[in-house]
Structure 1
C-alpha cells in the first residue's frame, strides 16, 4: 500500500450501489455496530463481507470521497468506538 494513502486501491467496477458491490451475497451496512469498539466492529465487518477492507478513521482525519466497492470507512470517536454507521462505499 502507498504510504501517502494507507488503504487499498479502489476497486473500479460498474457498480454504483452497495448491493451491487456485495454481489447481492454479502452485508453492506452495519447499523448495529454503532458504539462498538473498533477492533470488534472490524472483525464483524470482515466476517460479514470478505470482499472489503476496513479502514479505521480517527477523529479529525480526512478521507477520499469516492465510491469504492472494496472499502468500508470505520469512523471512530476519541474512545476508539464506532461513531457513524459503517457501510460499503
Structure 2
C-alpha cells in the first residue's frame, strides 16, 4: 500500500537499533515522514498514512520489527 507514498517506505536494517537512533534515521532518509515510536504491547491506529512510520520498540528500547510507512 506504500506504493503511492513518496520516498523510502521500509527500513529492515533498523531492527535491533536503539529507538531514538531509528527515528532520526527514518526521518533523515525520508523527509516526507514523521517517526512514531510505539512501545511493545501498545496498539496503533489501523488507518494508513503516507507521512507516518511506526517504530515498535522492545521494553529495553530497541526496534523489534521492520519500521514501515503506514
TM bracket (short chain)? over 0.9
Question: 4+ residue stretches of structure 1 with deviation over 3 A?
Answer: none
TM-score of the superposition, structure 2-length normalised?
A: 0.93
Alpha-carbon distance in structure 2 between the residues aligned to 1:19 and 1:82: 24
Q: TM-score, normalised by structure 1?
A: 0.75
Aligned to 1:49: 30
Residue 86 of structure 1 corresponds to: 67
Q: CA deviation at 1:34?
A: 0.3
Listed one character per residue, the Cα deviations across residues 35-76 of structure 1 (whole Å, up to 9, x for unaligned) are 000011111100111111111000221111111101000000
Question: Displacement, 1:20?
Answer: 1.6
**Number of the residue aligned with 1:20:** 4
Higher relative contact order (CA 8 A, sep 6+): 2
Larger proportion of helix: 2
1:77 aligns with: 58
Gaps of 5+ in 2: none
Cross-structure match for 1:67: 48
Larger Rg: 1
Give the structure 2 partner of residue 32 of structure 1: 13
Kindly tell me the number of residue pairs found equivalent between the two proteins. Answer: 70
